[in-house]
Amino acid sequence: MDYEEISIQDAYRLQNAGGLVLVCTKAVGEAEGYDLAPVAWCCPLDYSPQSRFICVLDTSHRTFEDLRASGEFILALPSYAQKRLVEQCGSVSGRDADKYARFEIPSFRGEKVDALIPYGVAGWVECKVSGIHVEGTSGVVYGDALAAKAAKDFWEMRLHYVTEGIWFRPWGGALGVKKGLKP
């Protein structure tokens, strides 16, 4: 079999399963309002006595600052119909814009966590922050599940993202897959 050389910068792409989330937060203190940001680097860590997750957020993101201050966040799990919304929410920081207002995102509040979940998501997990480890500009956030809900056809709805130009639906095929492993 032929294998192509992958740079050590791009090697992560080989192991990005693509379980995209929207990290939804609320600011505390002087800053005000709600925010949400797409995060592709999120994976399960444990399931007993409750599910736990780790997310890697750049420490400059407003969502990171919010969840560090509030101690809570919601992982909203976008549907393929929300691809544009995901791109919009990743195009600007909540420091510079109220994304819910700018992108006219209808939403509802979590039951345990004060953050706003966009209507139409495939599901969500409400989390409390159980740890944060900062390594350079990467903030590794540990979140323990407090509550979760999913649509009956969750896997048909779910949107996954690997890297620029590679989006897919686990049960629904590719949404613009480019050939090759290189960016």
Ligand X SMILES: Cc1cc2nc3c(=O)[nH]c(=O)nc-3n(C[C@H](O)[C@H](O)[C@H](O)COP(=O)(O)O)c2cc1C
Contacting positions for ligand X (CB under 6 A): 20, 35, 37-41, 56-58, 61-63, 86-87, 90, 92-95, 161
Question: C-beta of 181: minimal distance to ligand X in Å?
Answer: 18
For the chain, how far is it from start to end, CA to CA, in angstroms?
A: 22
Apex CA 171: angle with CA 54 and CA 12, to 5°?
Answer: 40
Q: Which is nearer to ligand X, 26 or 61 (CB)?
A: 61
- Separation CA 103–CA 164 (nearest Å): 21
Query: Toward ligand X, which CB reaches closer, 83 or 128?
Result: 83
Closest distance between ligand X and the C-beta of residue 61, in Å?
3
Q: How far is CA 34 from CA 3, 31, 63, 84, 141, in A?
A: 45, 10, 9, 19, 19
- Based on CB atoms, which residue is closest to ligand X, 34 or 110? 34
Strands 116-118 and 123-135: unpaired
CB of 133 to ligand X, least distance (A): 14
Q: How far is the CB of 109 from ligand X (least distance, A)?
A: 18
Q: How far apart are CA 181 and CA 137, in angstroms?
A: 26
Q: In whole angstroms, how far apart are CA 28 and each of 15, 97, 120, 134?
A: 35, 16, 26, 20
Q: Which residue is nearest to ligand X (CB)?
A: 90
Of 15 and 48, nearer to ligand X (C-beta) is 15
Q: What minimum distance in Å lies between the beta carbon of 179 and ligand X?
A: 20
65: its two tokens = 């600052």
Residue 18: phi and psi, rounded to 5, are 95, 10
The smaller minimum CB distance to ligand X, of residues 5 and 158, is found at 158
